Structures are given as structure tokens and as C-alpha cells.
Amino acid sequence: MKFGVIIFPGSNCDHDAFWTIQQVAKQPVTFLWHESHDLENCDAIIVPGGFAFGDYLRTGAIAKFSPVMESVRRFAGSGGLVLGICNGFQILCEAGLLPGALIRNIGLKYVCKAVNVRVENAATPFTNACSQGQVLTIPIGHMEGNYFCDQATLEQLRRENRIVFRYATAGGEISVEANPNGSLENIAGICSPGGNVVGMMPHPERASEPVLGGTDGIKIFQSMVGALVTHETSSA
């Protein structure tokens, strides 16, 4: 089992994700350079947060053309696990691996704080260590985290149970007050039709150790490890 963390010019959460996988989840991990097509036989790919290519044009618009993303598309198409965090979520939407777009926060201000998100689908490879409806406290840090899609896409996401996380109160209530960025229906994370690609705005790597103030985020990585172990066992 091996994880890969992509590095784009402007990535600034790549080392955080690497540390969490290596030191907390205790799994092999390598960095993947954006100009390379080689995913180095990784079993899961992390598209980390940051400001890929300085967020020029719009978030993720340039990163989607990186050679590594061609390989990520093929990898995802074959069922490989791909997690996009914050800027990584934006890149996955721009690359067409997830529907919709992340636009400017409704208050037009950068928001950086801990938020509560409710697990809407605990059956994905990224949430199997969580329980349905569980509320996780995970930090956000973004200017363009306002998820938007057209009505047809929204209905499809609902119908196919592809809304993975929603911003909520500590008690699990979905409310306007709990929404930090104006995101459509409080959406904080979604998945692909096959469930093997997830994009989320909150940063689980920033809530993976007690020293960081919380450990709810490690459940995302534990879920991925569990899913990969199950896959390896069933394939043996």
C-alpha cells in the first residue's frame, strides 16, 4: 500500500498531508511532481491544498493541465482512490473529475477556522471509519469554498447519495448559520459516481493529532487505509 501526494507550484499543504499519512496513519507515502506522468504505483492519490500556480485565472484552472493530472484521470477511471483537499477539490472540479465549481465565499473574505461537518455518506472509501450522521470538527482555510452546481447536477448528487459532507452545527443541524462560505445546500464535500474520488474543502490533515487541537480528520485517512486493505484482501 502506498500513497502519493502531488506537489504543484504553490501547494502549501503537501507536507502536512505527507506527515499525516507517514507519521500518523503509518503508511508509505511519496511526493509526486506535477510535471511527471508517473504515479509510482501508488494506491491512493492526495491532491493537497494550497494555491496551485498562484490561483491565477481561477483556482485549479492551470493545475488541471499538469501532466500528472492526465495520469490521475486514468487512475481514477480505473477505480483508484483520489482525495482532493481544499485547492485539491477545486482542481478536481476544474479537471472534470468532480462536477460543479468552487466560487468566491459569499462574504468575499478568506475564512480560516474550525467548522463542523456532518457525514452524509459513511459508505465511501473515505468515510467508512465514520458513522452516518456523525459530526466532525475539521478546519477550513479558503477564499473560494462556495460550492455551486446547476439544478440538474444537484439533483443527481442527491439521488446518487454523492454529497459526502455538509456544514452543520455541533449538534448536526444543517443551517445557514453553520455555512461558512455560502456553499449550495451547505455542501462541504462530494464524490464521483463510483465513490472513489472525493473532494472536500475542510482540511483533515490539520485535525489529525491532539497537538493540532483535534483528531477527527484522521478518520478520513483511516477510512482510506481500511478501504485499501479490504481491496487487497479481496484481490488476494
Report the CATH fold assignment for 3-235. Answer: Rossmann fold (3.40.50)
User: How would you write the pLDDT of the chain (236 residues) with one tens digit per residue?
Assistant: 999 999 999 999 999 999 999 999 999 999 999 999 999 999 999 999 999 999 888 889 999 999 999 999 999 999 999 999 999 999 999 999 999 999 999 999 999 999 999 999 999 999 999 999 999 999 999 999 999 999 999 999 999 999 999 999 999 999 999 999 999 999 999 999 999 999 999 999 999 999 999 999 999 999 999 999 987 777 66
In angstroms, rounded to a whole number, what is the distance separating the alpha carbons of residues 199 and 91? 9
Give the whole-angstrom CA distance, residue 124 versus residue 121. Answer: 7
Task: From residue 7, give the alpha-carbon distance in Å to each of 16, 67, 230.
Answer: 12, 12, 28
pTM, two decimals, is 0.96
The pLDDT value recorded for residue 231 is 77
Of 192, 197, 180, 190, the C-alpha closest to 145 is: 180
Q: Where are the alpha helices (DSSP H) in the chain?
A: 14-19, 67-77, 87-94, 151-159, 218-235
On whether the CB atoms of residues 156 and 192 are closer than 8 A, the answer is no
Q: What integer pLDDT is reported at residue 236 of this predicted model? A: 63
Cell representation of residue 61:
484552472
Residues assigned a catalytic role: 86, 203, 205
Cα–Cα distance, 233 to 163 (Å, whole number): 28
Q: Provide the pLDDT for residue 232.
A: 76
CB of 36 closer than 8 Å to CB of 72: no
User: Measuring CA to CA, which residue among 91, 99, 5 is closest to residue 53?
Assistant: 91
73 CB burial (10 A radius; 0-12, 13-18, 19+): middle
Q: Can you give the pLDDT at residue 58?
A: 86
